[in-house]
Chains A and B, each alone.
Chain A
Amino acid sequence: MTTAAKRLPREFRPADVRDAGAEIDVQKVRRDFPILRQRVHGRTLVYLDNAATSQKPQVVIDAICRYYERDNANIHRGVHFLSEHATEEFEGARRKVQSFLNAADTSEIIFVRGATEGINLVAQTYGRTHVHAGDEVLITAMEHHSNIVPWQILCEEKGARLRVAPISDSGELLLEDFEKLLGPRTKIVAVTHVSNALGTINPVQRIIEMSHRGNIPVLVDGAQAVPHLKVDVGALDCDFYVFSGHKVYGPTGIGVLYGKHALLDAMPPYQGGGDMISSVTFEKTIYNKLPYKFEAGTPHVAGAIGLGAAIEYVNGLGMDNIAAHEHELLAYATETVSAIPGIRLIGTAKEKAGVLSFLLDSIHPHDIGTILDQEGIAIRTGHHCAQPVMQRFGIAATARASFALYNTREEVDALVEGLQKVREVFA
């Protein structure tokens, strides 16, 4: 155990980590991320905007370069050496994702642009097939806009109703209210695994059990969960799971939709084009088998390969170790930031991951962000694409520090010092 991990109260430590004796050597890990070496405004970069996007380790950058330098070719259609090789790399990345999520089969792993596209895909295919006038789609009050708007578009088109399960003042889903909102008209449930604005970890297992009692399928938005928690779609028994590659140390423009085979197989295609067909005549087109039915056009091959490299990287460190390191860091940040006079935390759920959202006196978060930036500290300020969450708390914006596997206690200390400076400027 590292000294840092030793400071962790026992009850905060995942059981398997407590016994594994494994650890994250954060200084060693930081050397894997070239971007962290730079200085910003003359200061060492302190990157605490990981919920927006994470930085990339050298192995991911190298994998993308290597693909373009050595393997670049179109996939699934060439008879030549490069095409075969590129196809093997691309499908290899799919196998890595399958194993990472513990999906039953590679046919259940659809490459998309990101979590947003994954949700839109489900809304426009499963949703348009199963949601009709008078039906309901159930989400929660802590969703990112990407898990609100696709369902609003669907509901508007179909004359269906979007229902929203409320959250508590600490930012936790009110499960009893959620359960009451499940009914015969509910055709799909879409919930975030971890809230990007509050950091709350939702009890998705229980949400899925409750929904399945009424045979209602559940989509889980895992954009903020996959970088921080071990996700097992088989154990969760969720019907759909989406995440974005760039939040888990992979490239932008690539993400994953996991879906249960039977559901995906019954769904109509999302986009038409090359690669998603078996045969085309002007009279009739026969669609390709899964997962290709949902991958029209040349995919982001380099992105998928980069994501595969990112998954190998986090697997090498161990998701449980990453979770333990980040949990300790979040606990430390919560304690030290809370001790600053005038701080109000937004999102104080018992189970949290990666995110510390806060207000400081009546200082606007944008002013906090500008002053911290001058100290080389990158945080996010604003509504975090979750305006209904801000409305729930009666605020316009928050300042948000969000953590990754390479962040240190010293960086949390720098944040606290930076916030003291903010107070001095506005004294």
Chain B
Amino acid sequence: MPDLRELYQEVILEHSKAPRNYRELATANHRAEGYNPLCGDHFTVYLDLEGDSIRDISFQGSGCAISKASASMMTQSLKGKTRAEADRVFDQFHKLVTGQSPANGNRAELGKLAVFSGVSEFPVRVKCATLAWHTLHAALQGKQQTVSTE
């Protein structure tokens, strides 16, 4: 039986209540919107890219505790990273929340994001955890369309 405490870890709850980098970014040169039509979660991710590296990153929007905490911790973990590094973190994060990342596997680049491992026990919440990441991906690619989880 999945454990609620694994899903709603203290760190996740704390970030959902007081999300970091939760603002419009005045210096943003990339931005994208993400939307989950099933639940109405909606985020905008702002990026200030300098060459290949993420000089600054922020987000705004509304969503559940999982999606908001994921967005908040994503902005923290990716500030200062290059595109290639961000892609790798997303890849590892995606594997983590979909249960494709062995517990003893290489989670080094995930750092604090490892707290989202409990999501894999709640398949319907995977979209919540990855919404901001898909939005980030779109922002990095310079896509104009709203990203949808569907």
Contacts and interface: CB of A to CB of B under 8 A. Distances in A.
Given A367-B64, A381-B39, 16 more contacts: A41-B1, A364-B65, A365-B39, A366-B41, A366-B66, A366-B128, A367-B65, A370-B124, A374-B4, A382-B40, A396-B39, A396-B40, A425-B4, A425-B8, A425-B13, A426-B65
Interface string A173-199: 000000000000000000000000000
Closest 7 CB pairs of A and B: A364-B64, A396-B40, A366-B64, A367-B65, A397-B40, A367-B64, A382-B39
Given A367-B66, A370-B122, A374-B2, A426 B13 contact: yes
A385 to B, nearest CB: 10
B37 to A, nearest CB: 9
Contacts of A366: 39, 41, 64, 66, 125, 128
B42 A396 contact: yes
Contact of B7 (A370, A383, A387): A370
A371 interface: yes
B63 interface: yes
Given A364-B65, A367-B65, A383 B40 contact: yes
A363 interface: yes
A387 B1 CA distance: 33
Nearest to A382: B39
Contacts of A337: none
A387 to B, nearest CB: 8
Interface residues of A, number: 19
B26 interface: no
Interface in A23-72: 41-42
A295 B125 CA distance: 41
A390 interface: yes
Contacts of A397: 39-40
B84 interface: no
B38 interface: yes
Contacts of A41: 1-2
Interface string A353-390: 00000000001111100110010000001110001001
B111 to A, nearest CB: 24
Nearest to B41: A396
A125 to B, nearest CB: 30
B1 A42 contact: yes
Contact of A390 (B2, B40, B64, B65): B40
B27 interface: no
A371 B65 CA distance: 12
Nearest to B5: A425
Nearest to B124: A370
B100 interface: no
A41 B124 CA distance: 15
B62 interface: yes
Q: Which of B39, B122, B124 has the most CB of A within 10 A?
A: B39
A17 B62 CA distance: 46
A396 B62 contact: yes
Interface string A409-427: 0000000000000000110
B39 A371 contact: no
Contacts of B41: 366, 396
Contacts of A363: 65
A425 B2 CA distance: 15
Interface in A143-182: none
14 contacts: A363-B65, A364-B63, A364-B68, A365-B39, A366-B39, A366-B41, A367-B66, A370-B122, A382-B38, A382-B39, A382-B40, A396-B41, A397-B40, A425-B13
Nearest to B127: A366
Nearest to B66: A367
A366 B125 CA distance: 9
